Amino acid sequence: MKIPNHIAIILDGNGRWAKSKGMPRNYGHVKGCDNLEYICEVAKELGVKYLTVYAFSTENWKRSREEVEGLMRLFRNYLKKCIKISKKNNMRVRIIGDPTAFDQDIQDSIRELEEFSKDFDDLHFQIALNYGSRDEICRAVNRMLKDQAEGRLTGPVTEETISGYLDTGEIPDPDLLIRTSGELRLSNFLLWQLAYTEFYFTPVPWPDFKKDELLKAIGKYNERDRRYGGVKEE
Ligand code: IPE
Ligand code: IPE
Ligand code: MG
């Protein structure tokens, strides 16, 4: 079985999963975070080179104060814990999205984690935090305008130029996108980068998405016939 080089996951369904157990939504986020730690290990073991997960969108600030506070608490703890996890998994961790909206201590933890893990090379793990694809494109265009005004960028702008200015920079585009918990939409995730990605949707909620489910998704990916606009060789 061919293992995709880059898997992106919209980890959805924590809230509904918790509700189905008569628990508060934030309990679902705690269990979802545990599962993220577990899936990183599985991905590494399977030989996945890049894993990108959508953990908090630019739109998720609309949730209740209690839920947002719970998520911030979770990010705070996880980012600290992730220093050890990155070492254990020989995993480079990067945050995509706009970190400036977070409290200073969270921004400091992000910087520390990225710096600490920058030479680890088995798994490249990207966490999308305060990420929205349209916001990412706006930020990229504004940086391009600034660089052009200051002489660091000259035209013509190519697809590579734009890719390079996105938060994902040099990271290759995803081969497989997974969304858990039954919703069939992108919710503003990696709109540019997913141009030729294969999609896999499953009703399984994120906290229940284990190794067997990941293997099922990879199995389906292996049945796909990727053409990139060309014609299949017979
Ligand atoms: C995904 O689970 C995690 C975040 C968006 C932070 P949800 O919180 O969206 O769970 P549902 O979709 O409401 O069940
Ligand atoms: C997308 O899930 C964002 C994350 C998984 C972080 P949402 O649950 O926020 O998306 P919608 O609101 O159902 O589209
Ligand atoms: Mg959701």
CA distance 187 to 96: 16
* pLDDT of 232: 79
CA distance 103 to 125: 22
| 29 pLDDT higher than 90 | yes
Q: Region 35-39: what's the mean pLDDT?
A: 98
Cβ-Cβ contacts under 8 Å for 47 (sequence gap 6 or more): 3
Q: Region 147-160: what's the mean pLDDT?
A: 97
- The one-letter code for the residue type at 119 is D
Q: What is the pLDDT of residues 49-105, one digit of tens each?
A: 999 999 999 999 999 999 999 999 999 999 999 999 999 999 999 999 999 999 999
* pLDDT of 92: 98
For residues 95 and 52, the answer to whether their CB atoms sit within 8 Å is no
Whole-Å CA distances, 6 to 50, 123, 194: 4, 10, 11
CA of 159 to the centre of ligand 1 (A): 32
Q: Select which of 5, 60, 122, 208 is catalytic.
A: 60
Mutational test site, ligand 1, from 178, 181, 206, max ligand atoms within 8 Å of CB: 181
| 199 pLDDT higher than 80 | yes
CA distance 98 to 166: 11
For the ranges 106-115, 134-143, 212-221, 223-232, which has the lowest average pLDDT? 223-232
Report residue 233's pLDDT band, with 50, 70 and 90 as the boundaries.
confident
Cβ-Cβ contacts under 8 Å for 90 (sequence gap 6 or more): 44, 120, 121, 122, 123
Annotation says 173 is catalytic? no
CA distance 108 to 213: 35
Averaged confidence pLDDT in the chain? 97
